[in-house]
Structure 1
Amino acid sequence: MRGLAAPLTKLAVFALVTVLASYVLVTTITNAGYGESLGYRAQFSDVAGLVEGDEVRIAGVRVGQVTGIGLSDRTERPVAEVSLEVDAEVPLPTSVQATIRYRNLVGQRYVALTEGEGSAGATLAEGATIPLAQTRPALDLTTLFGGFQPLFQALSPQDVNRLSYEVIQVFQGEGGTVESLLGHVASLTSSLADKDAVIGSVIDNLTTVMGTVAARDEQLSSLVVSLQQFVSGLAQDRDAIFDSLQTIDGLAVSTAGLLEDARAPLAADVEQLGSLAGNLADSGDVLEEFLQLAPSKIDLITRTAVNGSWFNFYLCGASGSVTLPGSAEPSTVPAGGLSSGARGC
């Protein structure tokens, strides 16, 4: 028995140390606290990434942990409700502010408690709820990195790859710091600052254009409506327009053939018109006299044809001469005549 006492003592000491180390490790991993604690609830608009067991800190010192996460049944709209346990020795003011913050770059969170304004020394009762107005969710990294989108659009592919490499290195913990990252971002965006005047000029011009368009919004609206009506009318009459285009094509072919056939006679007519114009110019006096006498003659002819579409002619008298054989001078012989009372004589 004496020979076994020493090994058994060593085994017991080893087992005790192992249990104590395991207990410390488990309590460290699970953020388990010691001593008496008080329970509270806090309402948040977003608790993404927060899990049970995450720490509750005040000024960076751990004072409790998260014991539960769920939806509140005491609000009209869905709101997350987080159950907290805080050391009883740390009183919370009624104006306490609860904020979910990043614990590390891996994405772990913790709840930070800070004193607000207007507490006047009053402490928060056990089981009380920190309202939504006194809480803030964690920073959305998606929104943060979404803010780099305009920068990525303005940079060259090489600069984007360089910036992305620096971001990955920082968040993987493989090197670099946030300060170094911001320095690289500043160097990459310096080229954008040099184009500030050009960007400002473009914005000013766009402002002028938009102001002009806004001042004529009614005319622009009327133009758009009229254009829409015109296009709609064309769409409704597309069959008639198509048929008319075919008819116009046939007309063009016929007109081309007509002009081809009439080209030679038309040239001759134009040449004769030149001769006619020359003759009229040479007989100007005769033409002028004709134009002066034409009205009175036309008036007489019109009165002659007043009884119908014909003309009446009356023979009032006739005479002639006959040369007889053996006579030196012709003898006049009346051929006939009408009485003086005949119509028209």
Structure 2
Amino acid sequence: MRSFRERNPITLGVVGTVVIAAVAAAVFGYEDLPIVGGGTTYRAEFSEAAGLVPANEVRVAGIKVGEVTDVGLAEDRVLVTFRVSDAWVGDRTTAEIKIKTLLGQKFLALHPVGEAGQDPDVPIPLERTTTPYDVTTAFEGLATTAEAIDTEQLARSFRTMSETFADSPRHVRTALDGLSALSRTIASRDAELAELLGNAHTISATLASSSDEFRRLIDDGNLLLTELDHRRTAIHGLLTGAERLATQISGLVADNRDQLAPALAQLDTVTTILRRHTADLDRGLKLAGPYFRLVTNAAGNGRWIDTYLCGLVDGNRAPCRPPRPGEGGGS
């Protein structure tokens, strides 16, 4: 076998580049590989996308089994491509786009039924798919429609109809009078209604832009509740132990009340005496300070006591004071 140095470097470079490209393709597109991929790819036809986007979840009975990989237009309908793993999809399976959160996030729900498996090359037909009603989109459309209405013209139209049917039967005139009053009310509240719908649109847009934060908040709350549920036994044991401790303390006090009452009474007497002689105690502590300092100085040089006896000999009778350095004296 020849070494790499003996081989053609151009051939080695080409082969190495092909191998690196194949490894990179396998790493970044392993989910699309037929054996080690992320599952089976199916398609479904819908009348509209209803806000479904790639990377949305695919669920069966509330459990995530895959994700949406593509949402595209196929003539007069929407073709949704999704990948499913570890789940059976029957040949009469129905698909439904559902609302995941109140902020408008969607997911694809599958209801697997049928005698045989669904053919991945045959999309789930439009007859077996449904889409949700999006409240946010409805509010946005209502705001746009309300802004385009000429309320003054509408009021004039209702008044003209009321005047035209003035000689009609009573119930017809009553209905038209009500319509005329309604039109006047709408015309008088046109600015307020427009502001209300505009604010509703702003709120819905804000909530939609903050969907990730709300989802994290809900997930964190779920984690907290789950941890509390896991610690439920420990918390119950703690509360039960505290209750038993309180019961034992109550019993101890009840059983020793005859002994505790005199002891507490004597303790109260002692504290009263100490409180009454607080000034004497303070003065005693002040006087004890210099005394103990002198005792410490006298006995602090070794295993003897340093002292001075005044007038013990004739030469040290007057003045009776300790000799200073350089003076004679006895001790």
Q: TM-score range by the shorter chain?
A: 0.3 to 0.5
TM-score (norm 1): 0.31
Structure of larger gyration radius = 1
